[in-house]
A = this chain, B = another copy of it.
Amino acid sequence: MQPPLEPCSRQLAAARQALSQAEIVCQQRGVRLTQLRRRVLEIIWHHSSPLGAYAILDVLRNDGRQGAPPTVYRALDFLLEQGLIHRLASLNMFMGCRQPGAHHSGQFLICQDCGQADELNNQTVEATLHTEAMARHFEVLAQTVEVLGRCLDCQEASRHGD
Q: Write the residues of chain A forming the contact surface with B, with a CB cutoff of 8 angstroms.
A: 89-90, 107, 109, 111-112, 118, 120, 122, 124-125, 128-129, 132-133, 136-152, 155
Q: Are B140 and A147 in contact (CB under 8 A)?
A: yes
Copies in the complex: 2
A138 in contact with B125 given A132-B120, A144-B144, A146-B89 (CB within 8 Å):
no
Q: Are A118 and B146 in contact (CB under 8 A)?
A: no
Nearest 6 pairs between A and B by C-beta?
A137-B152, A144-B146, A89-B90, A141-B149, A89-B89, A140-B149
Contacts of A111 in B (CB 8 A): 138
Q: Are A141 and B129 in contact (CB under 8 A)?
A: no
Contact of A138 among B132, B137, B146, B150 (CB under 8 A): B150
Contacts of A144 in B (CB 8 A): 89-90, 144-148
